[in-house]
Amino acid sequence: MAVQTPIYLDNHATTRCDPRVMEAMVPYFTTHFGNAASRTHVFGRVAEEAVDKARAQLARAIGATTDKEIVLTSGATESDNLAIKGAARMYRDRGDHLVTVCTEHKAVLDAHHALEREGFRVTFLPVRADGLVDLDELAAALTDQTILVSVMAVNNEIGVVQPLERIGRLCKDHGVLFFCDAAQAVGKVPIDVEAMHIDLLAFTAHKMYGPKGVGALWVRRKNPRVRLEPLFHGGGHERGLRSGTLAVPLVVAFGAAAELALNEMPEESARLLALRQRLWDGLRSHLTHLHLNGDWSARVPGNLNVSFAYVEGESLLMGIHDIAVSSGSACTSASLEPSYVLKALGVDDELAHTSIRFGIGRFNTTEEIDFTIARVTEVVHRLRDMSPLWEMVQEGIDLKTVHWAGH
């Protein structure tokens, strides 16, 4: 069967909206267009009922006991900022110390940097070579001034799943709030905010086959009751934590996407694991000098992050232009910086520049994976054949022992 290109393998960046989600959402643009805060007429009440249903679907997806703990936002970035800044400012009288991890999403890291400018002290923990947090180091970082620990559930680049239950237990034992950015986790791996002792959890629709522009922050209401200082002020929507008219169609879609993901997770996970294994086995059977980034077993099913030694990353991306993936370099106007996540794992700059993140998702097929194996293999062989370094490696020369002229 002919494969239609381009192939989309960048499902950690965003996902295609599931047609079933679209079907649930569309009537709320046209027929049921009311404002969910307008309770005096039927249009508003229909919208409010739809939002309440979506809230319940979202709560179930993360194991929350009540849908009243769900605060609707514009996405995970806003949820991250509301959780981190809201908690830090609310509990400043208890302490001024925050703990997070150096491989967190930029929304989390930059929110902490903003709080440093307000006078908070932040500990940015390193990770082990497999991308996981060292729990002893986390425990050692906590002081009587620590008010919040922020650790993401699943890393957006290398797909590793952190030991949330153990982190949550540690935070609970120390009386510290635990915030988790679960944008890459909800709907893909089981999340249970109660069992994992999480106090604040951010997630978003567009990573689970819903639309862009809507997310949520789960805020624990008891044991302990978590309070936040809002970022926005206005009409007091979302229990005063997030003022602004709700995007009802998007909220409806978010709920539908969460319910689908939760119901289909066992079979979808098994299918994605099989596709990932096929991709990894296929690449390894044709190519040498491959480096897997991040732990193999503690990993979300659809993620494969691989470095292809002795290949220039940008050339590889251009060579496989009919496959949508992301590289291990962040393109900025001034420079081509290797991924800070890969650097934190101890991956050297040259190898980090050659890394590709494959994000396998719901709509990918076996044929697409086979096409990807063949195309990547062909391009890597071609680029290595052009590389003098590869020639030296083939001759058995250890490049680390070479003294280069001019150095």
Largest CA distance in the chain: 80
Residue 390's pLDDT band (cuts 50, 70, 90): confident
Other beta carbons within 10 angstroms of residue 57's beta carbon come to 21
Same domain, 74 and 203: yes
Those residues whose C-beta lies under 8 Å from the C-beta of residue 244, and which sit 6 or more positions away, are 232, 234, 235, 237
pTM for this entry: 0.95
* 336 in any annotated domain: yes
Average pLDDT over residues 231-253: 91
* 381 in any annotated domain: yes
Residue 229's pLDDT band (cuts 50, 70, 90): very high
Per-residue model confidence (pLDDT) at position 157:
96
* 269 in any annotated domain: yes
Residue 11: C-alpha distances to residues 128, 169, 203, 208, 405 (Å): 25, 31, 15, 9, 43
Q: Which of 80, 98, 78 is nearest to 88 (CA)?
A: 98
Q: Which of 372, 382, 275, 287 is nearest to 321 (CA)?
A: 372
> Which helix H or strand E contains 71, and what residues bound it?
strand 70-73
Helix 106-117 / helix 76-90 crossing angle, nearest 10 deg? 30
Same domain, 146 and 108: yes
State which of 220, 246, 261 marks the end of a domain.
261
Per-residue model confidence (pLDDT) at position 333:
40
Same domain, 209 and 332: no
Percent of the chain having pLDDT more than 70?
Answer: 96
Question: Mean of the per-residue pLDDT values for the chain?
Answer: 94
Measured CA to CA, the distance from residue 207 to residue 279 in angstroms comes to 21
Same domain, 247 and 333: no
Reading phi first (left if > 0) and then psi (alpha if -120 to 50, else beta), residue 99 is in beta
> Which helix H or strand E contains 25, and what residues bound it?
helix 19-25
* 1 in any annotated domain: no
Residue 335 has pLDDT above 70, yes or no: no
Measured CA to CA, the distance from residue 281 to residue 372 in angstroms comes to 12
Average pLDDT over residues 75-96: 98
Same domain, 166 and 230: yes
State which of 222, 237, 261 marks the end of a domain.
261
Distance of CA 271 to the CA centre of its chain: 20
Lowest-confidence segment of 28-32, 97-101, 314-318 by average pLDDT:
314-318
Measured CA to CA, the distance from residue 308 to residue 40 in angstroms comes to 61
Same domain, 254 and 340: no
* 406 in any annotated domain: no
Residue 328's pLDDT band (cuts 50, 70, 90): confident
Average pLDDT over residues 54-70: 97
CATH number for the domain spanning 134: value is 3.40.640.10
Residue 341 has pLDDT above 70, yes or no: yes
Same domain, 35 and 160: yes
Same domain, 309 and 212: no
Those residues whose C-beta lies under 8 Å from the C-beta of residue 265, and which sit 6 or more positions away, are 187, 188, 189, 190
Domain count, the chain: 2
Give me the domain span that covers residue 332.
Answer: 7-12+265-401
CATH number for the domain spanning 297: value is 3.90.1150.10
Same domain, 359 and 337: yes
Amino acid at 135: L
Helix (H, G, I), strand (E, B) or coil at 101: strand
* 2 in any annotated domain: no
Those residues whose C-beta lies under 8 Å from the C-beta of residue 163, and which sit 6 or more positions away, are 132, 133, 135, 298
Per-residue model confidence (pLDDT) at position 407:
52
Per-residue model confidence (pLDDT) at position 238:
83
Residue 41 has pLDDT above 60, yes or no: yes
Average pLDDT over residues 87-101: 98
* 407 in any annotated domain: no
Q: Looking at the annotation, which residues are catalytic?
A: 331
Residue 406 has pLDDT above 70, yes or no: no
Question: Residue 131: phi, psi to the nearest 5?
Answer: 90, -5
> Which helix H or strand E contains 44, and what residues bound it?
helix 42-61
Residue 330 has pLDDT above 60, yes or no: no
Per-residue model confidence (pLDDT) at position 332:
44
Average pLDDT over residues 384-393: 86
Per-residue model confidence (pLDDT) at position 404:
65
Same domain, 226 and 171: yes
* 136 in any annotated domain: yes
Percent of the chain having pLDDT more than 90?
Answer: 87
Half-sphere exposure of 223 (CA within 13 A, CB side): 8
DSSP string for residues in 231-295 = S--SS-TGGGTS-S---HHHHHHHHHHHHHHHHHHHHHHHHHHHHHHHHHHHHHHH-SSEEE-S-
Same domain, 105 and 196: yes
Same domain, 327 and 360: yes
State which of 261, 289, 308 marks the end of a domain.
261
Lowest-confidence segment of 107-111, 150-154, 241-245, 342-346 by average pLDDT:
241-245
Average pLDDT over residues 377-381: 98
Per-residue model confidence (pLDDT) at position 338:
87
Per-residue model confidence (pLDDT) at position 396:
77
Other beta carbons within 10 angstroms of residue 155's beta carbon come to 29
Distance of CA 23 to the CA centre of its chain: 26
Per-residue model confidence (pLDDT) at position 314:
85
